[in-house]
Structure 1
Amino acid sequence: MKTSYGTIPAYITKDASEIRELMHPAVHGNARQSLAEAIIQPGEKTQLHRHQVTEELYHVTQGFGMMRLGENCFAVAVGDTVLIAPGVAHCVQATGESPLHILCCCSPAYSHDDTELL
């Protein structure tokens, strides 16, 4: 299976980030995980949320941001990868002058039903 970035439409998730599902079981037929690109515009922030079932990996590919992970807040930049365990509240803000781009790997695959806004 192969997808092409330019053919994948973006949409807004429950946490208010712009997402492109690069690979998702509901669309592409893979079995256990999803891969998406999230784009957060300068000065904007995703809503604080958590997933009870899904484990996430965030990998920053462009921009700068501040990540809240549970009670901790820390800067993220290109090359950083963050593990978000199930049940941990999190959000991210783009703090640079350009959009923050994050690759998001979810296992099991991302689901609106597993997203609890806080």
Structure 2
Amino acid sequence: MSKPYEASIRNIAEEPWQQFPDHFGGALSKALVHPDTVGSRQLDYRISTYAPMAYVAKHQHKVQEQVYHVLEGEGLMEIGDEKRVVRQHDVVFLPPGVPHSIQNSGLGNLTFIVVTTPVKDA
């Protein structure tokens, strides 16, 4: 159920950690700006922390664009058939239709922001 569509200020501690579908091994996220948390219509903004070996299954979006901004740790980002190490301060842009996944291949937690727009694929 969506929240009212209005301005809001929230603290990150107010949102519980969740393991969304197709996320495995301790791939946890907080949906900070999302239809279910603040009533957003065009934006999904999450902070995620993946334990070592945690990952999201390879997938693609029909119309959504995504940005991943790595805050700490390191992992492997798979884009199409290419795998690249990502670490602090790396920013990844994914246009619609590009298969991708991210996994924590490092020794500590991998923490990143994910911004998706629009909220849902058409």
TM-score (norm 1): 0.86
Question: Which residues of structure 2 form unaligned runs of 5+?
Answer: 1-7
When the two chains are superposed, the root-mean-square deviation of aligned CA atoms in Å is: 1.4
Shift of 1:18: 1.4
Secondary structure in 1 matching 2:55:
coil
CA distance in 1, matches of 2:77, 2:31: 21
- 1:9 and 2:16 matched: yes
Alpha-carbon contact 1:56-1:85 (below 8 Å) kept: yes
Q: CA deviation at 1:28?
A: 0.6
CA deviation after TM superposition for structure 1 residue 22, in Å: 1.0
More helix by share: 1
Q: What is the distance in 2 between the residues matched to 1:41 and 1:57?
A: 20
Q: Does 1:92 align with 2:99?
A: no
Deviation for aligned residue 1:2: 1.0
Deviations 1:16-58 (A, max 9, x none): 1311001113321333111101221112222111111211000
Q: Which runs of 5+ in 1 are unaligned?
A: none
Alpha-carbon separation, structure 2, partners of 1:4 and 1:12? 20
Confirm or deny: 8 A CA contact 1:56 1:84 kept in the other structure: yes
Among all aligned residue pairs of Structure 1 and Structure 2, give the percentage whose two residues are the same amino acid.
Answer: 27
Structure ID, larger Rg: 2
Instruction: Tell me if the contact between 1:40 and 1:93 (Cα under 8 Å) persists in the aligned partners.
Output: yes
Secondary structure of the 1:61 match is strand
Contact in 2 for aligned 1:15/1:49 (Cα 8 Å): no
Counterpart check, 1:21 vs 2:21: no
Count of residue pairs the alignment pairs up: 111
In the TM superposition, residue 65 of structure 1 has moved relative to its aligned partner by: 0.6
How far apart, in 1, do the equivalents of 2:98 and 2:59 lie? 8
**Alpha-carbon distance between aligned partners in 1 of 2:11 and 2:32, rounded to the nearest angstrom:** 8
Structure 1 equivalent of residue 54 of structure 2: 44
